[in-house]
Structure 1
Amino acid sequence: MKKAIALKYDYSTAPTVTAKGSGLLAEKIMEVAKENDVVLHQSPELVEMLSTLELGEEIPETLYLAVAEIIAFAHKIKDHQW
């Protein structure tokens, strides 16, 4: 079953979980992200780890590097869009 996690990062604190779900809810999360030009990244392993967090919860320090790489990748993609 498809799962999705949405994170918010405001550059002042650790990224926080803003949405999560599976099945139809996961599809809706991804649909809203696409409508808002949010870069999507697929990592089943990371989604599994993040899905244990509650809404509004900051990601744990053990995931900082993995999430930072994704954020940097997303910025790079957005900077090169026409």
Structure 2
Amino acid sequence: MPSNLPPDRRKSAVTLAYLATDTAPRVVAKGYGNVAQSIIELAKKNNVPVHESAELVSLLMQVDLDQKIPPQLYTAVAELLAWIYSLEAAQEN
């Protein structure tokens, strides 16, 4: 997509990190356009699951880098984590 589009119309990507010691997942990378494409390519190259949800990404783009997600997003992100865990379990079998 052309870079002159408003941010909400351009390709976007967000990377979350969630460690057992964290109280909530954190936004560790995010970007639009070429940065988003690089985030996605790097994730795929490293076998990190990539999930497409424009609505969730739009909400996560509002979270500052290295900040925990807000409680309002816990349910949506928990569903995403459950999906990732199910993928990992399927790969082990």
When normalised by structure 2's length, the TM-score is: 0.84
Q: Once the two structures are aligned, what percentage of the paired residues are identical?
A: 44
Q: Displaced runs of 4+ in structure 1, greater than 3 A?
A: none
Q: 1:2-81, aligned counterparts within 5 Å?
A: 2-12=11-21, 13-81=23-91
TM-score normalized by the length of structure 1: 0.94
Partner Cα distance (1:79, 1:66) in 2: 20
Determine which structure has greater relative contact order: mean sequence separation of CA pairs < 8 Å that are 6+ residues apart, divided by chain length.
1
- Size of the aligned set, in residue pairs, is 82
1:12-69 CA deviation, whole Å, 9 max, x = no partner?
Answer: 3200000000100000000111111111111101111110111101000010010001
CA RMSD of aligned residues (A): 1.0
Tell me by how many angstroms 1:73 deviates: 0.5
